């Protein structure tokens, strides 16, 4: 079998998710459990164009229109158990990689999926100015 060649007319690379060394060497990423570390590229690549604005755009802006949906059914297709995926979401929110933008399932009146938004809180993880954000508003107390 021969290798597939990229033609000069189409120099496009196959789809991939870029994770910078800054992310991979951060304390937040190091402290992630293996299942959450495995799921993070799926979250980053869910809507790559919207994340590109976040990763290579203005740093620190949290009012980005990069909200995306990630259903439990899609997570099951990717090989995650539902309970594991729930823990993954909790860990990624706790470490500051994502934030909840909208609630689906029973909290969303069974008509939508959970909506997430990328976050840069992971850069401050482990520092005194790191703010813990709860997954649900009812956890504010």
60: tokens are: 């620190």
Quote the pLDDT of residue 10: 65
Higher pLDDT: 22 or 137? It is: 22
**Domain spans of the chain, in order of start:** 32-130
Q: With contact defined as beta carbons under 8 Å apart, do 88 and 109 qualify?
A: no
pLDDT at 110 over 70: no
Query: In CATH, what class is 32-130?
Result: mainly alpha
For residue 37, what are the β-bridge partners? none
Question: What is the tens place of the pLDDT at every residue in 21-63?
Answer: 999 999 999 999 999 999 998 888 875 544 444 444 445 444 4
Quote the pLDDT of residue 48: 59
């Amino acid at each position: 079998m021969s290798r597939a060649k990229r033609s000069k007319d189409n120099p496009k690379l196959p789809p991939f998710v870029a994770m910078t060394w800054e992310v991979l060497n951060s304390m937040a990423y190091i402290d992630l459990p293996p299942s959450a570390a495995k799921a993070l590229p799926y979250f980053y690549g869910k809507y790559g164009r919207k994340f590109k604005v976040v990763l290579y755009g203005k740093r620190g802006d949290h009012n980005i229109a990069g909200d995306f949906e990630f259903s439990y059914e899609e997570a099951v297709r990717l090989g995650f158990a539902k309970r594991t995926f729930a823990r993954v979401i909790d860990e990624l929110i706790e470490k500051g990689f994502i934030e909840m933008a909208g609630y689906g399932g029973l909290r969303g009146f069974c008509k939508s999926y959970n909506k997430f938004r990328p976050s840069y809180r992971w850069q401050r993880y482990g520092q005194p100015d790191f703010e813990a954000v709860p997954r649900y508003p009812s956890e504010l107390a």
